[in-house]
Structure 1
């Protein structure tokens, strides 16, 4: 049976119980077994002499004395080492074996308990412990934010695992997309070329055409979407109802811009001679830049989406406890929503300024207008209703001259204003409000945020529930008991 349970003989202690009954001449075999010459048991053998029937009946008989006398006087058992014979030697051996096994068992249990205890994280039963817990998360969060803002992507594995966390790079690429969309789709009508008097193509039309350009043209035939990044994160409550809805912006109209300006001029002129109402320029500029609103708000909405997605994904990486993370986001969401709305409001304010009054101190405006006024009129356009009829070196009427002057002024101002607008939206609405300013959403989750939390909010976010507290107490007591037991066994 022992061989079945312990085939390697590593856990079996051999006990020979009746040496007094061994046949004459067979004693040496037993002695070889006890001395380990023929035994496979790693713990070896011990010989004990059981009391005989007569000794069991005799109440005056002392079992230990009889056994001791036997091993002192009866040959060849007297040759065996003292730690190999007798019940006393067996008791010591069993204590040693059990103590070794118990030490190993205690060590294993202690290691397992400490691992379970460590997995529970730091204790969060007091407000001080809860604040310390949240501050540790904040330090990790702000460290990742700093590295993302510095584009130090090699310092965190997160940047390799999830490209949505490469914040500055994604925002910069979206800025370039916004600039490109403004240059190609931001105006209502094509301007005339300065040198020829023909309609000015968009930048997309003057590029060398490639296969990919042709594919893009097919995709953009019905316009372009103003939203490029619509991640719709799981916790989107902070951005619900704030962002620009998805709409398509159509390509600039191919109709004659001079015909359109002439219509507006006829609808607003008075008794001026060779001039026009200054309010007319503001009216046609607002119409010509009418797509700016949806393009700008779509761009800012995308950057809000990018920033919010970044915040959620960083929190996911540094706070794996879903319950704590959800509670933390729920506390942050109201203030995040306010800061996102501030960015949208800033974009709207810039739009309102551009659509209110026309003004610039940029010398580029006068430079462009001067070039337009001094150009050689190789080709002119006679407006007849909505149609164009190019005529070389034809004299212009007063109305045509006024319309062309309005066009030239509008084109020069649009060139200056659109660059200014793009810069202001990128610098103020997204750069300052969302990434670098004092009220940037990335700075909300800070030590000051934790310091401002009420005690009930601390408990709600970082406090331990009853089950976790009981488990922590049980493990702590178990570890203390095992540590005490191990010291005793040592």
Structure 2
């Protein structure tokens, strides 16, 4: 195929002359034949589509339209011109180089206006420049110059000249209004190229094919597939596209052009007539044959062109074909019926799609949140987030789980697991109880049996709930394994400390500071256990706050809030808790002091148990002295005496044993106090109770500077662009709904 064949020309000849039917008034070229495209009922339906198109919805939803497509040189533009009776510019070597959208609209005032819809892949500045193109003309004779200007703006140079672009994905829209115009949109697409050549590159081939595929893939498009009888239809790739995309042929009408190039009576002519009768390639909408203007007919008016066409189809084999499948006048009738049926089927789906798109748009709006371009809007936005966070934190600290945020309980996960951490108060209670248990088990340096040898700790306590042994648990806590001592070894330990702490006390007594030394050593693990507990609760607080922030704020807002205030607030609470613990540990380092009767009660019980044990040991040695008489028999118990072996002669050992019992009682008393102090004064006071007030409370938001408010809440440029885009789409969709409502007589 030569380059002349590839370049699409009207009637494939030099047609530089301007057709005589072009008028200075666009209304004059309107013919009554255009009215056959639409009935009154169809016009009412097309009114809806026209209103939707005028709102710009053709870029949001798929609107019904006619698309004229085919291979290059197939006569597409001639078909479009014959259907609309609008004279398009003709010049040597002219081909369709971009999609041209012809919008026919009924209006009281005749007008012709044009605009360019830029390709979405173009850079933003180029898109803006192309959108600025908006021209109105009064005469069709001005159309060639206008299209040349649009071609230049799109960056298209002369075909085959240098490295200039040959084709574009931009769309030129030509809106033609007038009292007699039908409400109709047709699109003329660039012709499909079979292969690259010196004028058209591989990129051109791919661009045009993707453009054609994009248009005809629209389910609401009626495809007018144009094939030229000059070339074997088996080689015309538009048919492959149609059969692949519209596999049932339900919305494709085949149009055969240039039948006058076939030799009358030839087998080739018969093959084309068989194709027109749907005997070869089947389309549900069938086929139609048109005759383009031949050489010498280019100056004809449209009426003369139609008359010549009628004479052609009344001769030869064509006179036997049904009249409804030949000629432009019957094509308009077929298109009218096709449009009517197509629109009746598609309008309900179009309405449904419109409603869905509007709902999706509103959902996207909701995800963007409130508009926040001013400081006032930004503060209100942050105050809303703050209120949500504050309400959740207050409920969580108190253990009130009515808010949907808290969700359900995950029974198969641990109490303090990620799955259950939303139940925050339950997690804190669980961790405090664990701390109390750990203090009881691992808080002492030595495990010492009581004086009577009974009540020694059970081995069952050496395992925790997860089945870990004591050694493993201690490793987790960062403390040493408690060392088990016999009673004798424990007394020896105290005696050695006593010897190194002796003051001026009498033998058998001990220095009061000895209890301090013993207690400090026995309670060495307390600081490590308490610190580990603080860190564990602080981690739980941080994880919980993270989940609350995720729930209440968008990711970008959350990250800014965390960096600006949240991390600092959590760190401040953690440092305050550590400072409070340091005070409690410092108090523990003071000399023993207690006003709790629990201490004296414990000491007395220990002594009672010790003496009871000693008395039980000598019970078997008691002797009874009896006094006998005739009438009665009396038994008098002898006062028991402590065996000499039970008297402790070693004064230091005696003092050590007494000191050990006192230390044990004091340790138990202080242990209860320490657990209570850590859980209340450290955990609750500094880590838990402060969450609602410290983590983004309304008071915190009020204290932010304008710069901080703007930093956190100001919309990113892309969010503003997205909001503006959604606002425009929302307005278009709402106008579309209004158009439907008015067309249906005000019904919803």
Residue-by-residue CA offset, 1:236-258 (whole Å, 9 max, x unaligned): xxxxxxxxxxx432423638332
Which of 153, 160, 165 is the aligned partner of 2:421?
165
Q: Which residue number in structure 1 is paired with residue 134 of structure 2?
A: none
| Equivalent residues in 2 for 1:56-455, closer than 5 Å | 86=330, 89=333, 92=336, 104=350, 111=357, 114=361, 117-118=364-365, 121-122=368-369, 123-138=371-386, 141-142=389-390, 145=393, 146=395, 150=399, 152=401, 155-156=406-407, 162-163=418-419, 165-166=421-422, 167-196=424-453, 201=456, 203=457, 205-207=458-460, 216-217=469-470, 219=472, 224-225=474-475, 228=477, 247-252=478-483, 254=485, 256-266=489-499, 267-272=501-506, 275-316=509-550, 319=553, 321=555, 323-331=556-564, 332-377=566-611, 378=613, 393-435=646-688, 437=689, 439-440=690-691, 444-455=695-706
Instruction: Quote the Cα distance in structure 1 between the aligned partners of 2:523 and 2:406.
Output: 44
Instruction: Quote the Cα distance in structure 2 between the aligned partners of 1:407 and 1:265.
Output: 10
Deviation at 1:304, TM superposition (A): 1.2
CA 1:397–1:374: 2 relative to 1, 3 Å: farther
Contact 2:323 2:330 in 1 (8 A): no
Residue-by-residue CA offset, 1:234-292 (whole Å, 9 max, x unaligned): xxxxxxxxxxxxx4324236383323333343423204475444333333322322221
Residue-by-residue CA offset, 1:123-174 (whole Å, 9 max, x unaligned): 4333344344444544554565435863859952796893362544443343
Contact 1:365 1:412 in 2 (8 A): yes
Instruction: Quote the Cα distance in structure 1 between the aligned partners of 2:301 and 2:672.
Output: 116
**CA RMSD in angstroms, aligned pairs only:** 5.4
Instruction: Quote the Cα distance in structure 1 between the aligned partners of 2:705 and 2:387.
Output: 20
Instruction: Quote the Cα distance in structure 2 between the aligned partners of 1:213 and 1:105.
Output: 61
CA 1:268–1:109: 2 relative to 1, 3 Å: same
Contact 1:194 1:375 in 2 (8 A): yes
Instruction: Quote the Cα distance in structure 2 between the aligned partners of 1:290 and 1:61.
Output: 111
Residue-by-residue CA offset, 1:198-250 (whole Å, 9 max, x unaligned): 8x84x3x4538889999715546xxx13x55xxxxxxxxxxxxxxxxxx4324
Which 10-residue stretch deviates more, 327-336 or 447-456?
A: 447-456
Deviation at 1:418, TM superposition (A): 0.7
Deviation at 1:338, TM superposition (A): 0.9
- Secondary structure (helix, strand or coil) at the match of 1:265 reads helix
CA 1:77–1:260: 2 relative to 1, 3 Å: closer
Q: Which residue number in structure 1 is paired with residue 223 of structure 2?
A: none
Residue-by-residue CA offset, 1:12-54 (whole Å, 9 max, x unaligned): 2466999xxx99xxxxxx9xx99x9xx9755577898988999
Contact 1:55 1:63 in 2 (8 A): yes
Contact 2:397 2:425 in 1 (8 A): yes
Tell me whether 1:6 sits opposite 2:239 in the alignment.
Answer: no
- Secondary structure (helix, strand or coil) at the match of 2:668 reads helix
Residue-by-residue CA offset, 1:401-422 (whole Å, 9 max, x unaligned): 4333322222212111111211
Structure 2 residues without counterparts, runs of 5 or longer: 1-235, 259-263, 266-272, 311-318, 616-643, 744-748
Under a length normalisation based on structure 1, what TM-score does the superposition of the two structures give? 0.68
Instruction: Quote the Cα distance in structure 1 between the aligned partners of 2:652 and 2:433.
Output: 40
Structure 1 residues without counterparts, runs of 5 or longer: 24-29, 69-74, 229-246, 381-390
- Secondary structure (helix, strand or coil) at the match of 1:333 reads helix
Contact 2:382 2:701 in 1 (8 A): yes
Compare the two structures and name the one with the higher helix fraction: 1
- Secondary structure (helix, strand or coil) at the match of 2:252 reads coil
Contact 2:382 2:713 in 1 (8 A): yes
Deviation at 1:91, TM superposition (A): 7.0
Deviation at 1:58, TM superposition (A): 7.0
Tell me the number of residue pairs that the alignment of Structure 1 and Structure 2 aligns.
Answer: 444
Under a length normalisation based on structure 2, what TM-score does the superposition of the two structures give? 0.47
Compare the two structures and name the one with the higher strand fraction: 2
- Secondary structure (helix, strand or coil) at the match of 1:453 reads coil
Which 10-residue stretch deviates more, 447-456 or 391-400?
A: 391-400
Q: Which residue number in structure 1 is paired with residue 720 of structure 2?
A: 469
Contact 2:444 2:525 in 1 (8 A): yes
Deviation at 1:349, TM superposition (A): 2.1
CA 1:292–1:393: 2 relative to 1, 3 Å: same
Deviation at 1:341, TM superposition (A): 1.2
Higher relative contact order (CA 8 A, sep 6+): 1
Instruction: Quote the Cα distance in structure 1 between the aligned partners of 2:392 and 2:450.
Output: 49
CA 1:55–1:182: 2 relative to 1, 3 Å: closer
